[in-house]
């Protein structure tokens, strides 16, 4: 029996060594496939976050946090696998070098100044790089468990926020208090049974292996370095999302340098969502201007609360009658206020976005360049009770230039 056990152990060891020697093949294939998937994902995350604001009615802050969290997670893993493939490229170069010059350095043929130094052999370079590549590939495993737990917790908080329709500030307080309590419990109960069970888990073991063999600070700073490298990717993923902040005016930079593809259908990328208002074309002709406005789920609540609580304020603003959701907007060209003839509701074909479409009369305008200014009425709610407190007017909610022929 002992001989059988020893034979089995030898077979298992040889099998494991075999796998270790040939691990580069699955590593490269897995990294390549995951990278292809990760590079296709950011646009989906952006659209998902915009959908949370426009269709579900989530607060802008909540949607930004979702976008930033998912983008950071995707971008960090992108950098991990890019670094791994880059190192594998170097490894392949060393492998070719070991085949071409297996003997390594021939000191007699070097310049005299370099002959008294010791150099690594090509085989040693290959083995060193093999170890580095394998370590780099396995490092993300230590992040999987914390990411899964934090993602599940955030999903739970978002569910509570949407189901009970509470203010996002309350959800934020719950999140911060829970993090604080978890930190205190972790520091106090260091010998708790759940900590011992967690330490035996696969992910915790991987993390402990890295910290104990490479150094705990090296492991931490390596992760921070990867995050810093991912920062430009994260910024690129969240850029222009401020346009979906329905409760705010456009920023000065957004007014000065507008994004054409978000204001005109002719330049618009198919499947991408419109954050605010849009025109079919930059150049128009005729007596009417067709206008589209992105629908936000929270606007229906604004309409009800404005009609029920702020009649005096509406009169002081000289606002038109609020009969339907598009009446939250007021349009002007120059100093002249323009009323839409009618509004209809539509869904865009690819993005499935809900929009309002109306027609503005511009027959009295001579040919030239004009700016359509759009104002919007909003309501500010109490942070805790979520009751309407104050009417708000956004005078620079959107501006679109157009050329009349």
CA dist 210 and 347 (Å) reads 52
Task: For residue 274, give the 3-state DSSP assignment.
Answer: coil
Phi, psi of 272 (to 5 degrees): -85, 145
d(CA 264, CA 291): 10
**Domain residue spans in the chain?**
14-239, 247-404
361: left (phi over 0), alpha (psi -120 to 50) or beta: beta
For 261-277, what is the mean pLDDT?
Answer: 91
CB of 126 within 8 A of CB of 92? no
Q: What is the pLDDT of residues 11-35, one digit of tens each?
A: 555 655 665 566 667 777 888 888 8
In 3D space, the residue among 282, 269, 272 whose CA is nearest the CA of residue 401 turns out to be 282
| DSSP result, 337-382 | EE--S-EEEEE-TTT--EEEEEEEE-TTPPSEEEEEEEEEEEEEE-
Structure confidence by residue, pLDDT tens digits, 311-361: 888 888 889 889 999 999 999 998 899 998 789 999 998 789 999 999 999
Distance between CA atoms of residues 168 and 56, nearest Å: 14
pLDDT band of residue 263 (cuts 50, 70, 90) is: very high
The pLDDT assigned to 382 comes to 81
Instruction: Look at residue 7 in the predicted model and tell me its pLDDT.
Output: 54
Is the backbone of residue 316 left (phi > 0), alpha (psi -120 to 50) or beta? alpha
pLDDT at 197 over 60: yes
């Amino acid at each position: 029996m002992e001989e059988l056990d020893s034979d089995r152990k030898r077979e298992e060891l040889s099998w494991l060594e075999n796998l270790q020697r040939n691990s580069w093949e699955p590593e490269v294939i897995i990294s390549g496939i995951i990278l292809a998937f990760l590079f296709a994902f950011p646009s989906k995350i952006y659209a998902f976050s915009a959908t949370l604001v426009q269709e579900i009615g989530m607060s802008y802050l909540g949607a930004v946090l979702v976008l930033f969290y998912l983008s950071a997670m995707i971008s960090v893993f992108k950098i991990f696998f890019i670094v791994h493939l880059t190192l594998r490229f170097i490894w392949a170069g060393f492998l070719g070098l070991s085949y071409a010059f297996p003997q390594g350095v021939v000191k007699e043929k070097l310049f005299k100044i370099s002959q008294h130094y010791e150099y690594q052999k090509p085989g040693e370079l290959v083995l060193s790089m093999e170890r580095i590549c394998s370590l780099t590939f396995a490092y993300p495993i230590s992040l999987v468990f914390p990411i899964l737990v934090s993602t599940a917790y955030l999903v739970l908080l978002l569910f509570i926020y949407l189901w009970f329709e509470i203010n996002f500030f309350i959800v934020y307080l719950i999140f911060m208090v829970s993090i604080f309590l978890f930190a205190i419990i972790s520091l106090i109960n260091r010998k708790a049974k759940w900590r011992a069970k967690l330490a035996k888990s696969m992910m915790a073991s991987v993390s402990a292996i890295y910290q104990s063999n490479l150094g705990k600070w090296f492991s931490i700073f390596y992760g921070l370095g990867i995050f810093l490298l991912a920062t430009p990717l994260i910024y690129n993923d969240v850029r222009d999302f401020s346009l979906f902040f329905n409760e705010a005016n456009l920023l000065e930079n957004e007014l000065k340098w507008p994004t054409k593809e978000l204001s005109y259908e002719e330049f618009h990328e198919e499947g991408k969502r419109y954050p605010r208002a849009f025109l079919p074309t930059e150049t128009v002709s005729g007596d009417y201007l067709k206008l589209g406005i992105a629908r936000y789920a929270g606007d229906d609540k604004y309409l009800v609360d404005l009609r029920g609580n702020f009649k005096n304020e509406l009169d002081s603003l000289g606002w038109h009658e609020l009969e339907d959701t598009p009446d939250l907007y007021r349009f002007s060209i120059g100093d002249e206020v323009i009323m839409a003839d009618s509004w209809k509701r539509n869904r865009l074909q690819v993005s499935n976005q809900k929009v309002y479409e109306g027609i503005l009369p511009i027959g009295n305008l001579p040919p030239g360049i004009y700016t359509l200014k759009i104002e919007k009425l909003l309501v500010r709610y109490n942070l805790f009770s979520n009751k309407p407190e104050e009417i708000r007017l956004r005078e620079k909610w959107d501006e679109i230039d157009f050329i009349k022929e």
